Amino acid sequence: MKKLICMLLVVGTSSLTAGIVEYGLHGGLLLPSGDAGDFYSTSFLIGGQILAHTPMFAVEGSIGYGILQAKEDINDFSASLIPILAGIRTYSGPIFYGGGAGLYIGSVSYSDPVYGDVDSSDEDFGAYGNVGMIFPLGTMDLEGSIKYHLVDFDTDKAWFSLTVGTYF
């Protein structure tokens, strides 16, 4: 996995000088799947993104911050998920599809009457696939995207994200 991420970084760095680079912001929803769906509910996601175009494909990267919500009311609950993604995409008209690798950093903290204060954090490598559409708006682009995040390559640790963003 580390070799794949290094390769994506090399491809991404070389393509930054070969085409048009756009930067932007995105926001949306994180939808838990598998075991995550037993504990978490739909949560909010915000972040930044970069897109470097080449003649055949585009290299994408993003970092987000998900403010995770529990399904039940838990004392002093606080949780987050930070997806750091790098991948490639290709276009078919305004529709794009692609995928890549990701580092997913999660943390959770809460008070439990039986176990006391619980603090946990974890880092997992994973992969994602995405499909979306870009709408040109004058000097900016508006993008809608659906991503399937396979964390630690385990279907019990999967998330969907629905985001809308803009490129400048």
Inform me whether the pLDDT recorded for 9 exceeds 90: no
For the stretch 111-138, pLDDT in tens is 888 888 889 899 999 999 999 998 988 8
Q: Are 116 and 100 in contact (CB under 8 A)?
A: no
Overall average pLDDT of the 51-71 stretch: 93
- Any idea how long the chain is? 168
Specify the CATH architecture of the domain 2-167: Beta Barrel (2.40)
* pTM flag (> 0.75): yes
Exposed / middle / buried, residue 53 (Cβ in 10 Å: 0-12, 13-18, 19+):
middle
Q: Which helix (H) or strand (E) holds 106?
A: strand 95-112
119 - beta bridge partners? 109
